[in-house]
Amino acid sequence: MKNIVLEDIRKLYFIGIGGIGMSALARYFNGRGVEIYGYDKTRTPLTEKLSTEGMTIHYQEDITQIPKGIDAVVWTPAIPSEHTELQWFKQNNFPLLKRSEMLGIISRSMKTIAIAGTHGKTTTTTILTHILRTGGVDCTAFLGGIAGNFESNFVEGKSDWVVVEADEFDRSFLRLSPDIALVTSMDADHLDIYGNHDDMLDGFTEFVGKVKGDGTAYLKHGLRVKYFPENVNVIENAYGVNCGKFQAQNIHVENGNFVFDIDNEGNTIHNLKFTLPGKHNVENATAAILIAKKLGVTDEAIREALATFKGIKRRFEVIIKNENITFIDDYAHHPEELKAAIRAAKMLFPQEKITGIFQPHLYTRTRDFADGFATALDELDEPILLPIYPARELPIEGVDSELIFRKMKNKNKKMTTEESLFDILNIKKVKVLLTLGAGDIDAIVPKIAEQIQ
């Protein structure tokens, strides 16, 4: 890896190019004139878009489709170790880099802002990118979702600044070297990687220690690292809602928008209108505003950016809204994310019944957080549970959606399969519908939308 020099790369190969993080990296190098080739298991609208941008992608494990002259291979841990192409590259001694390693190389060559957290990082990163660019900071950004303002998960900029999402999965964020770091949350997650919450907190402490000398790390109100790394300015209690040194206040809903003030120890920006609903998203916006102010963005630019923010695909994304029904799709796959999405819907539609369809993601996450999922789903008026989406995992005995279902106390709870979903989903009686989960539940969103219309 030490021999990889960005300027020397002419031809790159991506294994799992259709992933949201992988495709952003591919777009970065494609924009630099590098020839991009890759494999993905599934053809999606995103991989089709990459192809139209000039990248060559195939969908079968087939080493004959690997071109000659590849300088390096980027792969994602979501790819099984026995993958035919990955094995071939290993056997032939190609330079192999995880996505996080390549992102780390980029972060060391630019002024980097890294947003970490078990939830909130994609939204915060995207809001920050929009504020910075509205305010004249022409940053590059690697985003964890498709941003409405950019119609992409990658934004090409001309300044020295880059905004990146620092992913705790597989300890990927420890590859980064940021100038500014921010941590939005440190709830237990990815315990299949870390073993327990305490070890995960060690990982976040180590991430804060990766900040470059004389850099700054900001922690949301209530978060603590185990020790303060040397040469890093760690700001605890940095921001929050009605708490922290930099805080959102007076949150209320006006004409479908959330409105709030920002108070920075006596300096106040009044009546900021924000298009993304939920107190959790106001909190994410507060984090983004904090960093934007540090980079010199004006209050006027912040006000304009929040009012013109177009959201992120699958982050409380409004699919349909009419006089009969509102249909919203959200990526929530952790109990705290579920609670945030459900409560945002309740704040926006206080008089309406909220129906939610949830697809659990991963056997290990379901095992570790079954109680939390049950409690969160009980807040819905009508919860509907689908089978687990396994992703990279093999089944675990005794772990299925029934585990959550049995713990739920909601009398209106239902459990079904994707095939039978439409038989029990009475669209005529639904006023607000949420689809929730990080698996392939988004594939049924168009079918539901079609039925509604």
What pLDDT score does 174 carry?
93
Say if residue 362's pLDDT is above 80: yes
Say if residue 1's pLDDT is above 50: no
Lowest-confidence region among 77-81, 162-166, 303-307: 77-81
The rounded percent of the chain whose pLDDT value lies above 90 is: 77
262/297 Cα distance (integer angstroms) = 14
pLDDT tens, position by position, 391-430 = 878 999 999 999 999 999 999 999 999 999 988 887 778 9
Contact 42, 78 (CB under 8 A): no
> Could you state, in order of their start, the residue ranges of all structural domains in the chain?
8-94, 102-307, 317-452
| pTM (predicted TM-score) | 0.87
Say if residue 354's pLDDT is above 90: yes
Q: Which is it for strands 35-39 and 56-58: parallel, antiparallel or unpaired?
A: parallel
Superfamily of domain 8-94: NAD(P)-binding Rossmann-like Domain (3.40.50.720)
Residues 59, 64, 66, 67: is their CA dihedral positive or negative? negative
- DSSP-assigned letter for residue 444: G
SS (HEC) of 83-125: CHHHHHHHHCCCCEEEHHHHHHHHHHHCEEEEEECCCCHHHHH
- Domain 102-307 fold is UDP-N-acetylmuramoyl-L-alanine:D-glutamate ligase (3.40.1190)
pLDDT tens, position by position, 318-340 = 999 998 899 999 999 999 999 99
Tell me the pLDDT band of 3, cut-offs 50, 70 and 90: low
Q: What is the mean pLDDT of the chain?
A: 93
pLDDT tens, position by position, 85-129 = 999 999 999 999 998 899 999 888 899 999 999 989 999 999 999
Question: Which CATH number is associated with domain 317-452?
Answer: 3.90.190.20
What pLDDT score does 200 carry?
87
Q: What is the dihedral of CA 444, 446, 447, 453, to 10 degrees?
A: 150
What pLDDT score does 244 carry?
93
What pLDDT score does 151 carry?
93
